[in-house]
């Protein structure tokens, strides 16, 4: 009797253990019965199922990642670029996800990768290389995410959370042509700036020369005017002095002439002793 009771207790425990399943935080679950989905999207908590007949499968609801290998794409000018990208995704429908990938994250990545690459190929084919290099990555990744979600939600039960381009490399032959064009453009800009600077320098120099000529002319005019006014004043003073004492003025002028003549140096001066020049030289008075 005790053996039967213990056996029944074990059966009850097994039935109870197989009738309950727990979904942890950050998970969702579905129920399978003979390989067919009979319960979908169980949230965190305690749930019940038919023992030994139904099977529970749990799936991670956290954001998962796809780090793809670099891929070659062509721009609208048919120039190739090497794009390295990664994708963040999560399960949006566990039933569709299980049917598409049998619950395997690796299989899901294999199914998701071509859809992302097709969307990237479409975006790169529609844009020129210059626009891609100049910084349209955010627009590209947003369009790729939206385009991928149109198909992955229904076909894979996956929501693409984010698409990011890590690096865009140019093949060597494309890099050389791009750098050469950039170098030519920078040289053109430099030549234009240099030409503009030389033109501005020539204008500044011409204006400075014109101002110098004007200033020198005005200075010479002022100097000539001042010199003329001084000469006139001196002549006026001389005239006034001469009118006061003509004899003294004549004597003074003769003395100045003697000084200038005899202090000239080692030269020889031939004059008639009876000339007017020696008028005061001989007169002791």
pLDDT tens series, the chain, 285 aa: 667 666 555 565 555 556 677 777 878 888 878 777 777 777 777 777 777 677 777 888 889 989 888 888 888 888 888 888 899 999 888 888 888 888 888 999 999 999 999 998 998 888 887 777 776 677 888 888 999 898 898 889 999 999 988 888 877 766 666 677 788 888 888 998 998 898 899 899 988 989 998 899 899 989 999 988 888 888 778 777 777 767 677 777 777 776 776 666 666 666 666 666 666 656 555
Enumerate the domain spans of the chain. 15-60, 64-170, 246-285
User: CB within 8 A of 171, min separation 6: which ones?
Assistant: 72, 80, 81, 82
Q: Is 84 exposed, middle or buried (0-12, 13-18, 19+ CB in 10 A)?
A: middle
Q: Is 144 exposed, middle or buried (0-12, 13-18, 19+ CB in 10 A)?
A: buried
> In angstroms, rounded to a whole number, what is the distance separating the alpha carbons of residues 38 and 98?
13
Reported pTM? 0.54
Hey, what are 35's tokens?
Answer: 């390989």
64-170, superfamily in CATH?
Answer: Band 7 domain (3.30.479.30)
């Amino acid at each position: 009797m005790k053996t039967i009771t213990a056996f029944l207790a074990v059966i009850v425990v097994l039935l109870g253990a197989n009738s309950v399943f727990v979904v942890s935080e950050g998970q969702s679950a579905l129920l399978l019965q003979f390989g067919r989905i009979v319960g979908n999207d169980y949230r965190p908590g305690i749930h019940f199922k038919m023992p030994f007949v139904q099977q529970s499968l749990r799936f991670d609801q956290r954001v998962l990642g796809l780090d793809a290998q670099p891929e070659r794409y062509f721009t609208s000018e048919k120039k190739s670029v090497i794009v390295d990208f990664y994708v963040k995704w999560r399960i949006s429908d566990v039933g569709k996800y299980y049917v598409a990938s049998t619950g395997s994250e690796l299989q899901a990545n294999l199914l998701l990768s071509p859809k992302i690459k097709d969307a990237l190929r479409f975006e790169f084919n529609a844009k020129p290389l210059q626009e891609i290099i100049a910084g349209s990555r955010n627009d590209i990744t947003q369009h790729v995410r939206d385009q991928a979600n149109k198909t992955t939600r229904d076909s894979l039960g996956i929501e693409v959370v984010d698409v990011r381009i890590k690096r865009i490399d140019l093949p060597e032959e494309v890099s050389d042509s791009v750098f050469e064009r950039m170098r030519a453009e920078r040289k053109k800009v430099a030549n234009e700036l240099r030409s503009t600077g030389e033109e501005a320098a020539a204008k500044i120099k011409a204006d400075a020369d014109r101002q110098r000529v004007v200033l020198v002319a005005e200075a010479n005019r002022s100097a000539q005017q001042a010199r003329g006014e001084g000469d006139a004043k001196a002549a006026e003073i001389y005239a006034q002095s001469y009118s006061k004492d003509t004899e003294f003025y004549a004597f003074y002028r003769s003395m100045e002439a003697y000084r200038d003549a005899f202090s000239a140096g080692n030269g020889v001066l031939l004059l008639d002793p009876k000339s007017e020049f020696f008028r005061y030289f001989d007169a002791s008075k």
